[in-house]
Amino acid sequence: MPDNRTRTTLVDAPRGLAGVVVADTEIGDVRGGEGFYHYRQYSAVELARTRSFEDVWYLLVHGELPDSRRSASFAARTAALRRLPDGVRAALPAIAAAGGRSGPLAGMRTALSLLGAAQGFHPVYDIDADRRRRDGLVAAAAVPTLLTALHRLGRGLEPVEPREDLPYAANYLYMLTGSEPDEERTRAVEQYLISTIDHGFNASTFTARVVASTGADMAGCLTGAVAALSGPLHGGAPSRALDTLDAIGTPDRIDSWIRERVLAGERIMGFGHAVYRTEDPRSRMLREVARRFGGPRVEFAVEVERRVEAILAELKPGRELHTNVEFYAGVVMELCGLPREMFTPTFAAARVVGWIANVLEQAEDGKIIRPVARYVGPKAPVAVPRAA
């Protein structure tokens, strides 16, 4: 009898799925050739310049920007969700101690799983859209509390309880340092957080959607995303970009250091991006933020950027290389007093909102993501040899 079942058509895809469209989304887009990206219908950079973190969070969850009444209500609602359940708080010292040098991002993978259990998160497949949004708000509000507590415990300090009277960015800095931050630093960190909420189908976002497509609960989706972000090829570059400035050291060493790396074919951390073929708009905006602070560190970073582009044009004509978000993100976070080990966790404190927006969207699809692989091993079938 002929097999009349629908057959799957196998299609070759490039390594890393580069350029392959795997889903439709209304959350945002990255237009690398233009050097532009947006959340919903708004320029992400313009949102970072003009709106609060909570407003952009509302936009990604609800699909529109809030008016002043909804903005205040949403900010109050999410602020009330910052405190952790007692069982999660009690477990954090052990998680921090077990993590050792792995840091708060690794600890958060465990803590998120515990949070999901403590808060009674259900598989997204089994609950309606309102309950999914509720779980997403609970998780996102808790992430800064988890990260800062794990960081402080790892340093032998007591965690700082969140405050409901502070906005998201200010409360994050307060829990991290124990002191209420000034407006200039708060706004700088807030603009960084807004600029990194979402950025297309990057590795961690795609991971969150794959897990969501199985119907898993919100904590499971976010744990997978955090694991992907922890990889050095994805979320580990802001501190490494500062390492570049440290390695150069002084202005008189810029040209020789850069020439040596370019001629050796080595990567210069903080430069180049997998998507952008022109200047990274996030870098442009964060350069503006850094220049508001001013000072020798900022002037040095700007000069390094200028000389990298000039020397590359000389030695590798036709190959453009611009700063990416990590270069000035590291400078800005350093100026705001964040320790380097908290750069990538701070990134996660923003991106969790984007991950959740993608989980919510994927959950509406109801189709499991299940690609195939081409087998290239020894020819099968081969008879199994008997045990000696």
| 8 A C-beta contact, residue 333 and residue 301 | no
CATH 1.10.230.10 residue ranges for the chain: 237-335
pLDDT of residue 318: 73
CATH 1.10.580.10 residue ranges for the chain: 38-232+348-365
Amino acid in the structure at residue 39: Y
Question: Of the candidates 360, 26, 83, 53, which has an alpha carbon nearest to the alpha carbon of residue 222?
Answer: 360
As a whole number of angstroms, the distance between CA 270 and CA 325 comes to: 7
CATH topology of domain 237-335: Cytochrome p450-Terp; domain 2 (1.10.230)
What confidence tens digit (pLDDT) does each residue in 275-334 have?
A: 777 788 998 999 999 999 999 999 999 999 999 888 888 888 877 778 888 889 999 999
As a whole number of angstroms, the distance between CA 148 and CA 142 comes to: 10
Sheet (strand 36-39) strand order: 28-31, 36-39, 42-43
- List residues with catalytic annotation: 273, 326
pLDDT of residue 236: 65
Low-confidence ranges of the chain (pLDDT < 70): 1-8, 100, 236-238
Total-model pTM: 0.92
* Strand (E) or helix (H) holding 239: helix 237-248
pLDDT of residue 269: 80
As a whole number of angstroms, the distance between CA 141 and CA 80 comes to: 8
If one counts every other C-beta atom within 10 angstroms of the C-beta of residue 371, the result is 11
CATH topology of domain 38-232+348-365: Citrate Synthase; domain 1 (1.10.580)
pLDDT of residue 5: 46
pLDDT of residue 8: 61
